[in-house]
């Protein structure tokens, strides 16, 4: 039997506007073909998972997103473009909600001991 962790999880997945931005900032790259293949692959995967404290309501999730959205956006941006000068200037909830979807899971199980 797996043990229930004391965390919940938020999965952040890119949407088309984010993928469009990645393509725009990568278009002049000498590695464009490789970048384009990676974009296609990653845009169909599950996204990044962030462990969070369990929440009781949608309002709690909204507050969590508002509190951490700038960090999450930057984490997603740096994977594709290391130069912050090319990042969008306003990295708040409005941009986050346009560029990403969020899935919340209140059940996180540990299948092995974390060291």
Place of tokens 């508002």: 66
Any domain includes 115? no
Any domain includes 62? yes
Residues in CB range of 11: below 8 A, 6 or more apart: 46, 47, 48, 49, 50, 102, 103, 104, 105
Count of domains in the chain?
1
| Domain hosting residue 73, numbered range | 3-110
Q: Are 91 and 10 in contact (CB under 8 A)?
A: no
pLDDT digits (tens, 9 = 90+) for 30-84: 666 676 666 666 665 668 899 999 999 999 999 999 999 999 999 999 888 888 8
pTM for the whole thing?
0.79
**8 vs 111, higher pLDDT:** 8
């Amino acid at each position: 039997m797996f043990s229930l962790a004391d965390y919940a999880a938020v999965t952040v997945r890119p949407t088309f506007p984010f993928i469009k931005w990645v393509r725009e900032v990568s278009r002049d790259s000498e590695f464009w073909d490789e970048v384009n293949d990676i974009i296609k692959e990653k845009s169909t995967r599950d996204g990044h998972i962030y462990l969070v404290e369990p929440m009781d309501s949608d309002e709690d999730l909204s507050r969590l997103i508002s509190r951490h959205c700038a960090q999450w956006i930057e984490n997603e941006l740096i994977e594709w473009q290391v130069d912050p000068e090319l990042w969008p200037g306003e990295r708040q909830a409005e941009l986050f909600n346009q560029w990403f979807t969020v899935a919340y899971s209140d059940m996180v199980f540990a299948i092995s001991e974390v060291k």
